Amino acid sequence: MEFLDLVRQTVKRYRMFREGGSVLVAVSGGPDSTALLDVLFRLAPELRLSLTVAHLNHKFRGQEADDDALHVHNMAARYGLPYVGETEDVPAYRQEQGLSAQVAARDIRYRFLEETAREIGAQAVALGHNADDQAETIILNFLRGTGLAGLGGIPPVRDRYVRPLIDMRRVDIEGYCRREGLITRQDSSNLKPVYTRNRLRHQLMPLLEKEYNPALVTVLLRLGEIARSENQYLDDEAATALDLVREPVKADGSIALNLDTLRDVPPVICRRVLRQTWQLVAGPVATDYRHIERLYSLLQTPSGGQLVELPGGITAEKMHRTLRFRTAVGSTDNAPYSVKLEIPGETVVPNCPWSIRAVIWEGEIDLEDVRRSEDRSKVYVDYDCLESPLELRNRRQGDIFEPFGLGGTVKLKKYFNDLGLARDQRDDVPLVVDSRGRIIWVVGLRPADFCRITSLTRRALYLQVVGQPPEWA
């Protein structure tokens, strides 16, 4: 099968792009991203994609990095594509934050891509990770003592980030560039043995392939696929268990787990329930095995009144019959907040006694039932009209809303005025917003018109308030 056909197959397998969508293509100038841009340019007409090229100069390699930026700019011009370039002083950021060079570069790179995607309204950001990168990541995670999630490696799709070359070997990508006459740049830092990944790539991997298994990459990719599938299954089981063991959300936004019920949950699921609860309260935060084990050990002790402090400003306190997760003292009510909406999943609204559950629905929807429903604590919207990732936040100055059925847009402030909503309640009203800043649902009040359910809807997003409905609903 031809290289282009293989990439097309990967794109379709993982449903990476929405037809007619805007895609930000991250291009460094190396073989991977150069091939990625060329392939997406060829696939764009049939997938009806609009492409924009993005390049970040990290200022790590002086003139070489400047030449890379010029090369990518010229490449975008040859394809006739818009270009967004930026220069960031990553060495200075690294020193300020006390990070490694690679972690600092990654932080700045993803911040640049996220901000650029928001500015241009891109539904997807295409990255050039390949099958060899995947295999290296799995081995690195294994050496660090990872669990199933780490053995799953790099997800082909995560939020708006997609990796169309994830099934392609590096040698095949370089061969494609040669056959198509594509000029590529070489990052000299990729050859330096000071970096762990470089030593693994140039020393350990060749040794393992030569001495132990010539098909090393193939078997690692298989391991990754199995691990991702099984990890997802266990996460789903944990989410179901969490629904069974959690008690009603308290007014302070804390979540309590019933210990009598939780102790009946198998250990492998129980640990995931603890992690999911932590993340529900804290939002996106990196969880650590040691902290999960400390939480799990609390369940085994007979006495109450014990407290564990967790990253993300969270505490977990074991009472007589519950384990309660809450934000550490010091958070302020009505302060601006913004958290990622978990889809599927449940997201706690900061400083509120309830959360928002989100589920993608691909079954049949009765339009009349949707229109007649007077329950303002739940809503269906057209998922394919939205631009991911979605966030849950409170109001911001200048917010614009397109209320369902009102035939136009209005300032959110005026919308609240027209409803007679008390001023001291307005900062309490959560908003579900897409990556372009469009308000999808004023929670407990009204959804937006642009994403209303119609006869053409193929996938719906079901949103529901979990816990005591807000008083304005």
What are the residue boundaries of the structural domains of the chain, listed by start? 3-226, 246-327, 338-467
Provide the pLDDT for residue 331: 44
The CATH number that domain 246-327 falls under is 3.30.465.60
Cβ neighbours of residue 118 closer than 8 Å, sequence gap 6 or more: 435, 436, 437
Question: What number of other Cβ atoms are within 10 A of residue 331's Cβ?
Answer: 14
d(CA 127, CA 368): 42
SS (HEC) of 98-161: CCCHHHHHHHHHHHHHHHHHHHHCCCEEECCCCHHHHHHHHHHHHHCCCCHHHHCCCCCEECCE
d(CA 427, CA 393): 10
In this structure, the strands spanning 22-26 and 124-126 are: parallel
Provide the pLDDT for residue 330: 43
Which residues of the chain register pLDDT less than 70? 194, 249-253, 284-285, 304-305, 328-335, 351-353, 367-374, 422, 424, 468-473
Query: CATH: 3.30.465.10, 3.40.50.620, 3.30.300.20, 3.40.50.10490. Which one for 3-226?
Result: 3.40.50.620
Query: CATH: 3.40.50.720, 3.50.40.10, 1.20.1250.20, 3.30.450.20. Which one for 338-467?
Result: 3.50.40.10
d(CA 188, CA 177): 19
Which of 116, 127, 111, 126 minimizes the C-alpha distance to 49?
A: 126
d(CA 395, CA 405): 21
In this predicted model, what pLDDT tens digit does every residue of 400-444 receive, in sequence order? 999 988 878 899 988 988 887 767 678 888 999 998 889 999 998
CA 202 to chain centre: 31
Q: Check: pTM over 0.75? Answer yes or no.
A: no
Provide the pLDDT for residue 351: 66
